[in-house]
Amino acid sequence: MIIAAYAGCGKTTFANKTWNSMDLVCVPYKYDVKSEPCSENTEGNKADYGYDMNPNWPRNYVSAVITAYHRYRYVVIPTIMPVLLELQRFRIPYILCYPERTLKEEYRQRFRERGNTAEFERIFVGGWDDYIDMFEADEYGKHVKLSSGEFLLDHKSEIEAFAKATECIQPLYTDDSVEEDIQRIFEETGVCIEEQMRQFFMYIAEHDDLVEKWIEEGMMSLEGYEMMRLMI
């Protein structure tokens, strides 16, 4: 499950205290940091906006998010609208976590206590109402709104319940003979093989005439089609 949480909501703590979770920091993807992308969990890394923009942004980050989605139970990311719109386009569910509108000053204090920069505060406090408006207008994601003193981890039970009711990811097992091709495809497209297969299954499920033709020609069984739909 992908969890898109606003700054100060406790993304790193949630990932550190939840099994098989990843806090996928966006800075190494958004900016040219002269190093390989990583998920270093430091506030300085998250708040450093002194780099040049990476020309591959946000496509490179979307690819990283989708790949992590297939390999971790929870992937925690920032609330970046272009990324969320891509997840919607790919029909990937996500949880949108953000604070109540009245908590602006509480979050300003959170940012200062954890050592974020003045530029970070200008963006995430200065644009507070615009961000909240944008989140409240989102009709796709599951909303988790934090009250005063709450963090993402306080809603773990709610998040787990939603993930169990929503998720449909199936692991894809391959043998060594195709690993080289899988890696080549990933390097060329930026999308992991699991997501390519999921998109392929979705395409088939939406084209009944193609499925009927394949069943008639013996290329797919009815049982295989039903199993495929369970994977979508």
Q: Which of 6-15, 49-58, 70-79, 123-132 has the lowest mean pLDDT?
A: 49-58
Q: What is the mean pLDDT of the chain?
A: 83
Look up tokens 């093989």; give the residue: 193
- The pLDDT tens digits of the residues spanning 120-129 come to 999 999 999 9
How many Å from the N-terminal Cα to the C-terminal Cα in the chain? 14
Q: Tell me the domain boundaries of the chain.
A: 2-166, 176-230
pLDDT for the residue 32:
83
Average pLDDT for 35-57: 63
Torsion of CA 121, 123, 126, 132, to 10 degrees: -110
pLDDT for the residue 221:
75
pTM of the shown model? 0.72
Q: Could you give the CA distance from residue 7 to residue 29 in angstroms, rounded to a whole number?
A: 17
Over 50: is that where the pLDDT of 41 sits?
A: no
Average pLDDT for 12-31: 93
Average pLDDT for 80-91: 92
CATH number of 2-166, picked from 3.40.50.300, 3.40.50.1970, 3.40.605.10, 3.30.70.100? 3.40.50.300
The β-bridge partners of 94 are 2
Burial class (CB in 10 A: 0-12, 13-18, 19+), 223: exposed
Q: Could you give the CA distance from residue 152 to residue 99 in angstroms, rounded to a whole number?
A: 10
Average pLDDT for 209-230: 70
Higher pLDDT, 9 or 166: 9
